[in-house]
Amino acid sequence: MSIPDICTCLGAGGILGGGATVRFGKYGASLALIDIDQEKLDKVVAKLQEGGVPSEKILAVKGDVTNPDDAKKVVDAAVKTFGKLDILVSLFKRYNLRESLFTKSLQFLDQVF
């Protein structure tokens, strides 16, 4: 399987984001990660390092991806650190799955999807 060189994962501290990040790391991708929860982000970084991903291939940034400035911050940092960005994975949780989508505003749905 061919994996792009540089991957940015939004919501990297969560179950899905962390899992995707670890998988990309196993295939040799450089990783730019962002999550709102520093503790969860640190755990994913530790797991990557335990799995053999070198520190120079990991960029972790604390931020809220629903804030355009924070999202831009991680993309800019990825390009500055790694020279380019090949793939963007968006796996952050913005929505409680127990709530009905039918009760949400169109503005909320645009932000989530």
Contact 35, 62 (CB under 8 A): yes
Residue 41 pLDDT > 90: yes
Q: Which domains are delineated in the chain?
A: 6-112 (3.40.50.720)
Q: What is the pLDDT of residues 85-101, one digit of tens each?
A: 888 787 766 555 556 65
Contact 21, 33 (CB under 8 A): yes
Residue 31 pLDDT > 70: yes
| pTM of structure | 0.76
- The whole-angstrom distance between residue 60's C-alpha and the CA centroid of its chain comes to 9
Residue 112 pLDDT > 80: no
Query: What is the mean predicted confidence (pLDDT) over 51-74?
Result: 89
Query: What is the mean predicted confidence (pLDDT) over 4-18?
Result: 78
Q: How far apart are CA 18 and CA 86, in angstroms?
A: 18
Q: How far apart are CA 98 and CA 75, in angstroms?
A: 31
Q: How far apart are CA 31 and CA 78, in angstroms?
A: 8
Higher-pLDDT residue of 4 and 11 is 11
CA angle centred on 38, ends 36 and 43, rounded to 5°:
120
**In the numeric block, which tokens belong to residue 79?**
């390009």
Contact 94, 111 (CB under 8 A): yes
Nearest to 67 by CA among 44, 100, 92, 85: 92
Query: What is the mean predicted confidence (pLDDT) over 37-48?
Result: 94
